[in-house]
Amino acid sequence: MSATPKIEPRGATVPEPRQNDPDTLARQILEKLTYSICKHPEQARKYDWLRATTLVVRDRIIDHWFASANKTRDTGDKRVYYLSMEFLIGRLLRDAINNLQLTGPIQEALKRYNVDVELVEMLEPDAALGNGGLGRLAACFMESMASTGVPGIGYGIRYVHGFFRQEIAEGAQVELPETWLMHGNPWEFERRDSTYEIGFGGKVVTQSEPGKPPRQVWRPTERVLAVAFDTPIVGWRGEQVNTLRLWSAQAIDPILLDAFNSGDHIGALVESNKAEAITRVLYPADSHQAGQELRLRQEYFFSAASLQDIIRRHVQEHGTLDTLADKVAIQLNDTHPAVSVAELMRLLVDVHGYEWDRAWQITRATFGYTNHTLLPEALEHWPVNLFERLLPRQMQIIYQINAGIIREASQDKGFDDTQIAAISLIDEGHGRRVRMGQLAFVGSHAINGVSALHTELMKQTVFRNLHELYPERIQNKTNGVTPRRWLMECNPGLTKLLTEAIGPAFLDDIEKLKDADKLADDAGFREKFAAVKRANKMRLADLISDRLAITLNPDAIFDIQVKRIHEYKRQFLNIIEAIALYNQIRAHPERDWTPRVKIFAGKAAPSYVQAKEIIHLANDVARLINGDPAVRDLLKVVFVPNYNVSLAEIIMPAADLSEQISTAGLEASGTGNMKFALNGALTIGTLDGANVEMLEHLGEENIFIFGLKADEVAQRRRNAHSGRSIIERTPLLREALDAISSGVFAPDNPARYHNLVSNLYNNDWWMICADFDAYWKTQRQLDVLFLDQTAWHSKGVHNTARIGWFSSDRSIREYAKDIWQAGPGQNA
């Protein structure tokens, strides 16, 4: 859509940047309260103070935002576009205040009115436009791009309802709608002049003009509008502010006047309801493909809008698409935006008249693709007939891409039929489906996994044949987390302690935390480190006491597993260990048990039956154990409802022990593992995902690894491994499983967990039985270690000091250099 004409203003310049002293801030907060919110300070509620403070902080951001945008436009530097169906950004106020270095002044300004900044910050809704690791990674990457000076724009969907809110009712998960926009959203700016038409359905016609090759033209039958909403992403020290642009769907005609005038008042709204449905709600399935048409519509909708926006900006600035790949890098966050490959080809060939081969060259040079899972049930593939009906021209293009790839594979590389079937973009085996992983792969010049192990497994399994065809394309980019949110903001106590001990240099280069490594042997430092941890544990204990009325012993091991609930993540193994420990404490009350609190949190996909049973079991077990006076303060089990980013910010700093116990080979990376270690927790984990590299960086004495390795898991699966014989020869395991089967944890429905348990006997697909003994023994080793607080905290200090490499700043610098050729030092 063409923008409305610009006015040529006279004598209008940007106002002077805002002052940051507490006096000015206090005065302006009052201004906003009065003139933007229209509240008298005596009538103002906490929520009004939040809004006024946000608006004052936002003014400071805008100054930097303009400067960043102007700089990139003036230098003509390459931009990075991060296309992601999910951005799990959480709250933004504290992040913005921290990165602008306004923490002290804002606190001081609000104190003048007797307002506590923390209470105000806690009222901000937690923007949950994502499911878990993948969406949170996108948020960390946005912040790190701004912090490392990469001109990056995130593109995604402005879901009206983010990830559902979880309640626990009688032990079971209940899903409730989430309404983050209810009070409006002061962080977003609607950009009506960046609105595009998005088509669906219809047919493709061939247009011939004399003297020109015939052109394919897509004539969609359905059209909706994509409207841009921009949110600023503030980098460290406010030096750069990038943009997160989220698309909202709107009908072109809000009401069908014909229908309305003829009396059909409901029918008049059908179109706008259908259009707006596209961006209504986030699909809550992680690592599982949601096969619905609406999901494919979402994927195409935000891909097509983003590409039109990228192309418009590029043509405006450079006048031709010949240079697209020199000035634009587009990263596909998993396959959700993979239809972009076909859509960019359509725009280049059908709309801009490029020859096919040249268009393909530009496309491949522009895209990069990140894979986040190898789980077969999570790989996206769409029925050909659905694809064809919704996106007929893109389907033709996919066939044409496929023909070219297959020709190359058989002619140049001599691939046989089995190999061809493996690389084909069309899966012929399951009623003809488009394989989005293959499409993203062949359309990209770089394909990456998210940990060293995961990348190797990509080469050996899902992309084996494509890797053989294009052996240079797969590379590794190990995930990272932003140290601003996951240390400075969530753990001010530890940040202060570290600053006093090693100086502030680590705030700008987190790998300088290494300077704290030697302090592991400094008794004075260790004691302060322990005191910070204890205070953080008290804060979590208070939260749990408030919300769940469970009292925790702050001197117990806080043993925490928080993440999406999934069989491969093996919360079940952790619960079984809790039951076994409970049995042992009851059987041997005279022994010197180390007090332990097992904390769980996480959401199950609403349709994932086993995951919901695991949540139910955790709650049932918690009720029984917490109510048994025989275990006193020695063991408690807690399931904290509604895990989200804000809760994680309280949990990470409060952990002694981090549970990263996935079946080896199945967790692509994990990122919670990094957040825990940064905050000084020790890890018990398998050799899976990024745990493998954490072991290398931390040293084997500072992380507790157990269990089968990825190749051993694969081998057992091939040999029809089952749990029965292991259970029979492992009394601790057998007794725990017997207890579950007996119904003691579920007196209202004793059969509730029969399936969960019988799966272990018959199959043990997730190697819970296979790993139980090693897990149990490692936990008991940790019990002993915890009694030696000196040894424990020394390892904690080593974890914080040595984990700096797992910063998303490092990840982003690697992407910038090896995939995007963008950012500082990369522009020729």
> Which residues are annotated as catalytic?
372, 563-564, 569, 671, 675
693 binds ligand Z2T (CB under 6 A): no
- Whether the CA torsion 27, 33, 39, 45 is positive or negative: it is negative
**Residue (478 or 584) nearer to ligand Z2T, CB:** 478
The C-alpha atoms of residue 58 and residue 75 are separated, in whole angstroms, by 26
290 binds ligand Z2T (CB under 6 A): no
Provide, rounded to whole angstroms, the least separation between the CB of residue 380 and ligand Z2T: 8
Provide, rounded to whole angstroms, the least separation between the CB of residue 286 and ligand Z2T: 3
**Residue (271 or 667) nearer to ligand Z2T, CB:** 667
Provide, rounded to whole angstroms, the least separation between the CB of residue 618 and ligand Z2T: 20
Chain centroid to CA 292: 22
Chain centroid to CA 349: 34
8 Å CB contact between 727 and 734:
yes
User: Quick one: which of 90, 105, 132, 238 contacts ligand Z2T (CB under 6 A)?
Assistant: 132
Residue 136: enclosing H or E segment and its boundaries? helix 133-148
User: Quick one: which of 667, 693, 764, 809 contacts ligand Z2T (CB under 6 A)?
Assistant: 667
**Residue (691 or 794) nearer to ligand Z2T, CB:** 691
User: Quick one: which of 68, 93, 105, 133 contacts ligand Z2T (CB under 6 A)?
Assistant: 133
**Site track for ligand Z2T across 257-286, x = CB under 6 A:** -----------------------------x
Provide, rounded to whole angstroms, the least separation between the CB of residue 524 and ligand Z2T: 37
For 340, the token pair is 């972009």
For 558, the token pair is 């806080």
Residue 372: enclosing H or E segment and its boundaries? none
**Residue (57 or 138) nearer to ligand Z2T, CB:** 138
423 binds ligand Z2T (CB under 6 A): no
679 binds ligand Z2T (CB under 6 A): no
Provide, rounded to whole angstroms, the least separation between the CB of residue 284 and ligand Z2T: 9
8 Å CB contact between 38 and 786:
no
Query: Tell me, what amino acid is at 146?
Result: A
The C-alpha atoms of residue 263 and residue 381 are separated, in whole angstroms, by 43
687 binds ligand Z2T (CB under 6 A): no
8 Å CB contact between 190 and 245:
no
User: Quick one: which of 28, 54, 98, 131 contacts ligand Z2T (CB under 6 A)?
Assistant: 131
Residues 6+ apart with CB under 8 A from 387: 296, 394, 395, 398, 434
Provide, rounded to whole angstroms, the least separation between the CB of residue 437 and ligand Z2T: 10
Query: Tell me, what amino acid is at 219?
Result: R
The C-alpha atoms of residue 26 and residue 20 are separated, in whole angstroms, by 10
Q: Using CB atoms within 10 A of its CB, is residue 133 exposed (0-12), middle (13-18) or buried (19+)?
A: buried
Q: Is 823 helix (H, G, I), strand (E, B) or coil?
A: coil
Which part of the chain contacts ligand Z2T (CB under 6 A), choosing from 161-169, 179-187, 372-380, 600-608?
372-380
Which of left, alpha, beta for 216 (phi over 0: left; psi -120 to 50: alpha)? beta
Provide, rounded to whole angstroms, the least separation between the CB of residue 373 and ligand Z2T: 3
691 binds ligand Z2T (CB under 6 A): no
Provide, rounded to whole angstroms, the least separation between the CB of residue 778 and ligand Z2T: 21
Which part of the chain contacts ligand Z2T (CB under 6 A), choosing from 101-109, 511-519, 623-631, 663-671?
663-671
Could you tell me which of 558, 567, 704 has the C-alpha nearest to residue 640? Answer: 558
537 binds ligand Z2T (CB under 6 A): no
Q: Using alpha carbons only, what angle is made at residue 753 by residues 705 and 172, rounded to the nearest 5 degrees?
A: 90
Q: DSSP letters of 703-750?
A: SEE-S--HHHHHHHHHTT--SHHHHHH-HHHHHHHHHHHHTTT-TT-T
Site residues for ligand Z2T, window 443-482 (CB under 6 A)? 450, 479
Which part of the chain contacts ligand Z2T (CB under 6 A), choosing from 152-160, 371-379, 720-728, 800-808?
371-379
137 binds ligand Z2T (CB under 6 A): yes
287 binds ligand Z2T (CB under 6 A): yes
Scanning the structure block, which residue is given the tokens 């986030």? 282
User: Quick one: which of 120, 134, 425, 469 contacts ligand Z2T (CB under 6 A)?
Assistant: 134
**Site track for ligand Z2T across 327-346, x = CB under 6 A:** -------x------------
808 binds ligand Z2T (CB under 6 A): no
Q: Is 152 helix (H, G, I), strand (E, B) or coil?
A: strand
Give me the residues that bind ligand Z2T (CB under 6 A), please: 131-134, 137, 286-287, 334, 372-373, 378, 450, 479, 667-671, 689
